[in-house]
C-alpha cells in the first residue's frame, strides 16, 4: 500500500496572500457601507490567525458583532475569494505542481484544510489539482472543528498507515502528531516560528519535500 501525504491548502500549496487583501477589503467595504465597521480593514490581524477555524476568524475580526453579521461577512468573504481564484488572481507556491507530480508516483496525496468546501473546490478546479490529489477534505465535515479530527477522518476513510502532514500552522503540526504521522512545517507567508518549533522538520521550499520524506 502506498503511503500518504496530507497537505494543508492555505499558505502551504496555495498563495492565499495574493487574494486575501482584495477579498477582505471588499467584505469590510460592505460592513463600512452598513455602518458596521469603522477604520481600516484588519488585514494584519487576519494574517496572524490564518488557518484557524472560520468561527474563530470572525470572532477575532469582529468581536463586537452579532453571529448573524459574522456569518454574513464570512459568506461574502468566501464569495470574493472564489471570484479572485476564478479570475486567476491567486497562484500555487513555486514548485508545487512539479513536486506534486513527483510525489504522486509514490504517495497518495490528500488535502485537509480549514477552508470551506466551495473555496477549496475552486482552487482544485482552477489549478487542476485532481491530477494529483485523491481527496479534498474541508473542516466543514467535522463537527468539532479540530484539524486533528479532520486528519483522522482522512486516515480512516483511506486506510492510511504511514505518511506525513504538510502545513504552515500549529494545527497542522498538532494534527500530524496526534495521528502519528510525520509533521512537516513549511516556512511560507503565514508561518510563525513559534508554531513550527514542534514540527519534525521544516522546509523553506516545496522542492525540499521529496528529500525530507526519503
- Write the pLDDT tens digit of every residue in 61-111: 999 899 999 999 989 999 999 999 999 999 999 999 999 999 999 999 999
Give the contacts of 21 (CB within 8 A, at least 6 positions apart): 41, 43
* pLDDT band, residue 135 (cuts 50/70/90): very high
Average of pLDDT values for 110-117? Answer: 94
**In terms of domains, do 196 and 140 share one?**
yes
Count of domains observed in the chain: 2
In the predicted model, what is the mean pLDDT of the chain?
A: 93
| pTM (predicted TM-score) | 0.90
Give the position of cell 506534486.
100
Q: Are residues 124 and 168 in the same domain?
A: yes
pLDDT for the residue 66: 92
- Do 97 and 71 sit in the same domain of this protein? no
> Residue 54 pLDDT > 80, yes or no?
no
Structural domain harbouring 46: 17-86
| Residues 10 and 22 reside in one and the same domain | no
Decide: residue 197, CB within 10 A, 0-12 exposed, 13-18 middle, 19+ buried: exposed
Q: Which residue has the higher pLDDT, 179 or 20?
A: 179
Which pLDDT band holds residue 56 (cuts at 50, 70, 90)?
A: confident
Neighbours of 102 (CB within 10 A): 15
Q: Where are the alpha helices (H) located in 34-146, listed in sequence order?
A: 43-49, 54-61, 67-86, 96-103, 117-126
Is the domain of 103 the same as that of 152?
A: yes
Clarify whether residues 131 and 205 are in a common domain: yes
Q: Note the pLDDT of residue 51.
A: 67
**Residue 59 shares a structural domain with residue 75:** yes
User: Does pLDDT of 1 surpass 70?
Assistant: no
* pLDDT score of 191 more than 90: no
Strands 107-113 and 3-7: parallel
CA distance 207 to 204: 9
Question: 11, 187 in Cβ contact below 8 A?
Answer: no
* Averaged pLDDT for residues 5-27: 94
- Confidence category of residue 57, pLDDT binned at 50, 70, 90: confident
Same domain? For 100 and 162 the reply is yes
CATH classification at residue 7: 3.40.50.1000
Q: Which residues of 150-164 are buried (b: 16+ CB within 10 A; e: fewer)?
A: bbbebbeebebeebb
The CA distance from 159 to 162, in Å, is 9
- Domain closes at, from 86, 103, 133: 86
CA distances (Å), 70 to each of 33, 36, 66, 88, in order? 15, 11, 6, 27
Q: Which pLDDT belongs to residue 148?
A: 97
Same domain, 101 and 206: yes
Amino acid at each position: 500500500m502506498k503511503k500518504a501525504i496530507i497537505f494543508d491548502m492555505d499558505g502551504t500549496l496555495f498563495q492565499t496572500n495574493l487574494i486575501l487583501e482584495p477579498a477582505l477589503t471588499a467584505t469590510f467595504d460592505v460592513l463600512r457601507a452598513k455602518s458596521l465597521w469603522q477604520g481600516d480593514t484588519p488585514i494584519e490581524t487576519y494574517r496572524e490567525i490564518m488557518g484557524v477555524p472560520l468561527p474563530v476568524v470572525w470572532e477575532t475580526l469582529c468581536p463586537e458583532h452579532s453571529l448573524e453579521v459574522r456569518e454574513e461577512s464570512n459568506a461574502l468573504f468566501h464569495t470574493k475569494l472564489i471570484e479572485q481564484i476564478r479570475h486567476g488572481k491567486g497562484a500555487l507556491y513555486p514548485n508545487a505542481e512539479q513536486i506534486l507530480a513527483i510525489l504522486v508516483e509514490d504517495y497518495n496525496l490528500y488535502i485537509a484544510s480549514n477552508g470551506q468546501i466551495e473555496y477549496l473546490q475552486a482552487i482544485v478546479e482552477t489549478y487542476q489539482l485532481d491530477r494529483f490529489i485523491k481527496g479534498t477534505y474541508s473542516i466543514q465535515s467535522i463537527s468539532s472543528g479540530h484539524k486533528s479530527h479532520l486528519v483522522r477522518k482522512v486516515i480512516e476513510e483511506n486506510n492510511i498507515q504511514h505518511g506525513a502532514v504538510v502545513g504552515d500552522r500549529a494545527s497542522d503540526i498538532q494534527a500530524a502528531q496526534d495521528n502519528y504521522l510525520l509533521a512537516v512545517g513549511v516556512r511560507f507567508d503565514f508561518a510563525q516560528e513559534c508554531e513550527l518549533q514542534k514540527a519534525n522538520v521544516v522546509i523553506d521550499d516545496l522542492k525540499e519535500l521529496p528529500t525530507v520524506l526519503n
